[in-house]
Amino acid sequence: MPARSIIVAIFVAAGCIFAAAVAHAQQDPLTRFLNSIFQPKPPAQVQEAPRRSRPAASRPRQSAPRAAREQRGVAERTLRVEVDTYVVVMGDSLAELLTEGLAETLADAADVAIYSRARGDSGLVRSDFYDWPKAAQEIVANPERVSIAVMMIGANDRQAFRTPAGEVEYGTPEWRTLYAMRVDEIIRTFTEKRIPLVWVGLPPMKGDRLSADMLALNEIFRDRVTAAGGHYVDIWEAFLDADGRFSAFGPDVNGQNARLRTNDGVHFTKAGARKAAHFAALVLRRLIEARAVVQQAVLPLHDGVPGLDTRDPIERMIDASIPSLPEPAGLISVSSKPVAGPILPLTGPDVAPGGVLVSASTGPVQVDQLAERVFELGDVPQPKPGRVDDFSWPRQP
């Protein structure tokens, strides 16, 4: 082969190699499209899926929350307080609403239980329908279940008494006498058992005639209860407006204007029952506190625990009947402080025995010489330098 042909072949081969390299480095879109169709794709690498963590709901519970629940259970068992005071509420439908209000008002007193013995349609007039004096006897038959009694009644008593001699018309003097006797009978039942009785008066009602009748019943309740040494709670003015008239609206226990009475003008709403219970609770709290003080004072110490006396009742009676032993000689008897001192009048003038005024002393009176000079002769002593009464200016050196 001639040398010229060999040289041409070498240049052609080099040009083809250079063109192939350029085409491989920069392919046009058509070339890349054809290569994607006809050239086989490399096998895809199988990637392992990431492991997911177990859901929180399926994870085992740790011991810390369980211990917390056990601690809460112990706290709940520790906070339980045994009932020490039982408050029984008696009366009509207004007393039923009063019971709900008292339960909410005294909810903070864990040792106080409030239960209702009210009868919605009952009253003191119709004993054939429901005999309240007899019911009161049944209530006090178990004194351990009644510490304080609350009565609110009278809304259904605007009717005649039925007696063997005939009916006694409502509002007559004879009717008032019979009604006061029924009130006294209930009061006497609790007084004999030494159970405090709180009588809650009736509120004003819609209608001038009806309000006047309720006010007349309140006068009977107040007179009979206070005469027997009981506790009368007057809620009349709390349910009046600024003009002294019945109003279904008024301030509640939080001072906010609210509806206190229902549409019938007789019963309480929830806010009204809560307000009526507020005034009754003021007396109940004082009685509960006084009862706790009396229990602590009467019951002696037993095994270091105050207020716990496990002696048999017969043993207590025997101990009380045995006279105290005489004190040994040589010991000084220390008298205990009396509960109350002598009763002294606050308004009457103080007089000497026999009505004779106390006279001045007739003996010689010792008068201080300095006081006599100052107050009688007006001779004021001269101030000394440096004393508090020395007002002279200091001399210049």
Angle at the Cα of 307 (from 306 to 311), degrees rounded to 5? 110
Most confident segment among 18-27, 68-77, 86-95, 324-333:
86-95
Confidence of residue 393 (pLDDT cuts 50, 70, 90): confident
User: Cβ–Cβ contacts within 10 Å for residue 361, how many?
Assistant: 7
Token duo for residue 141: 């038959």
Reported as half-sphere exposure (CB side, CA atoms, 13 A), residue 21 has a value of 6
Query: How far is the first Cα of the chain from the last one, in angstroms, to the nearest whole number?
Result: 148
Examine the pLDDT at 20 and tell me if it is beyond 80: no
Please tell me the least confidently modeled range out of 6-20, 156-170, 221-235: 6-20
Question: Residue 196 in contact with residue 287, Cβ under 8 Å?
Answer: yes
* DSSP symbol at 103: H
Token duo for residue 263: 């549409």
Examine the pLDDT at 323 and tell me if it is beyond 70: no
Q: What is d(CA 310, CA 269) in angstroms, rounded to the nearest whole number?
A: 46
Token duo for residue 165: 């001699």
Whole-prediction pTM = 0.58
Residue 199 parent element (H or E): strand 197-200
* Mean pLDDT, all residues of the chain: 76
Q: Which of 263, 289, 284 is nearest to 151 (CA)?
A: 284
Q: What mean pLDDT is predicted for residues 113-124?
A: 94
CA trace torsion 344, 348, 349, 354 (10° rounding): -80
Q: Which of 253, 249, 227, 225 is nearest to 239 (CA)?
A: 249
| b/e per residue 91-107 (b: at least 16 CB within 10 A) | bbbbbbbbbbbbbbbbe
Examine the pLDDT at 23 and tell me if it is beyond 50: yes
Confidence of residue 241 (pLDDT cuts 50, 70, 90): very high
Q: Which residue has better confidence, 341 or 74?
A: 341
Q: What mean pLDDT is predicted for residues 109-128?
A: 93
Q: What is d(CA 158, CA 217) in angstroms, rounded to the nearest whole number?
A: 10
Confidence of residue 327 (pLDDT cuts 50, 70, 90): very low
Give the residue ranges of DSSP H helices in the chain: 3-25, 29-38, 63-79, 93-105, 132-140, 173-192, 208-227, 270-298, 313-321, 369-375
Q: What is d(CA 341, CA 333) in angstroms, rounded to the nearest whole number?
A: 20
**279 CB contacts (<8 Å, ≥6 apart)?**
200, 233, 234, 235, 238
Please tell me the least confidently modeled range out of 153-157, 280-284, 360-364: 360-364
pLDDT at 246: 95
Q: What is d(CA 152, CA 180) in angstroms, rounded to the nearest whole number?
A: 15
pLDDT at 6: 73
Q: What is the pLDDT of residues 255-299, one digit of tens each?
A: 999 999 999 999 999 999 999 999 999 999 999 998 888 776 654
Q: What is d(CA 18, CA 219) in angstroms, rounded to the nearest whole number?
A: 127
Structural domains of the chain in order of their starting residue, each with its CATH number: 79-298 (3.40.50.1110)
Question: Residue 202 in contact with residue 218, Cβ under 8 Å?
Answer: yes
Question: Residue 92 in contact with residue 153, Cβ under 8 Å?
Answer: yes
pLDDT at 57: 40
* DSSP symbol at 157: -
**184 CB contacts (<8 Å, ≥6 apart)?**
224, 228
Q: Which residue has better confidence, 31 or 373?
A: 373
What is the percentage of the chain residues whose pLDDT exceeds 90? Answer: 48
Q: Is 292 helix (H, G, I), strand (E, B) or coil?
A: helix
Examine the pLDDT at 36 and tell me if it is beyond 80: no
Residue 151 parent element (H or E): strand 148-152
pLDDT at 58: 40
Please tell me the least confidently modeled range out of 196-200, 310-314, 376-380: 310-314
